[in-house]
Structure 1
Amino acid sequence: MKVNGIDSSAIQAMVAQLKATAARAHQPAQPLEGTKAIEQPAAKVDFSQALKSSLDSVAAAQNSATQLGDRFTMGDDKVNLSDVMISMQKASISFQATVQVRNKLVSAYQDIMNMQV
């Protein structure tokens, strides 16, 4: 199913990527070969922190694209048009993906609220 031109499988892939990133952030260092591995309980993934870091990266991409565009407009010779366009497209795509994740979360919330107990 497509929502605003983005396939729902892309949304699910984005959510899976967020979960994987959050899980990697909380993993302990791997023991060296030949040493005993100490079993530790799995760390809990803090959804709010994963969401905040994702939103921060989207904001950083947008700010970077804006700064590159401003530098290009001012005539900076070190910035070329292709770099500006690529950074703007990356920021746009990351923002669209974030909006789709938000829409999916709102939809899930509404589904839960409409459940009969």
Structure 2
Amino acid sequence: MILSIGNQTQQLTKMAPLEEKSVRSPGEAQANFADTLKKAIANVNESQVASDKKTEALANGNIDDLHNVMIAAQKSSITLEATVQIQKKVVDAYKEIMSMQV
């Protein structure tokens, strides 16, 4: 759908002004980051555990749906690989920051 420039200008003027960001103390920011990190690691762990349970159930003959077992294993693998790559990037960023001259 093509909008005229006048219509776009009217839409922009109707938008609410940007709200100021809330000011957080360093302690609150650190706690928020730590909680986010813990939740992310817990999600990776849950994915690994779910994959292990499905694989074990398949090996024991309790389930015969190989398709869902393989999907769970791939999700688990991708989640773990993404976590490792993010960890490497964070370590690299930390090293770069620490090598900066003040």
Cα drift, residue 43 of structure 1: 7.9
Mark the CA change 1:76 to 1:94 in structure 2 (over 3 Å): closer, same or farther. Answer: same
TM-score by length of 1: 0.61
RMSD: 2.1
- 1:65 is aligned to 51
- 1:111 is aligned to 96
Cα drift, residue 42 of structure 1: 3.6
Where do 1:29-68 residues align within 5 Å? 42=22, 46-68=32-54
Higher helix share: 2
Could you say what secondary structure the match of 1:105 adopts? Answer: helix
Where do 1:87-106 residues align within 5 Å? 87-106=72-91
Matching residue's letter, 1:85: M
Matching residue's letter, 1:60: E
Runs of 4+ aligned residues of structure 1 deviating over 4 Å after TM superposition are: none
TM-score by length of 2: 0.69
The gaps in structure 2 that reach 5 residues or longer are 1-20
Could you say what secondary structure the match of 2:62 adopts? Answer: coil
Matching residue's letter, 1:110: K
Could you say what secondary structure the match of 1:112 adopts? Answer: helix
Higher relative contact order (CA 8 A, sep 6+): 1
The gaps in structure 1 that reach 5 residues or longer are 1-40
Could you say what secondary structure the match of 1:76 adopts? Answer: coil
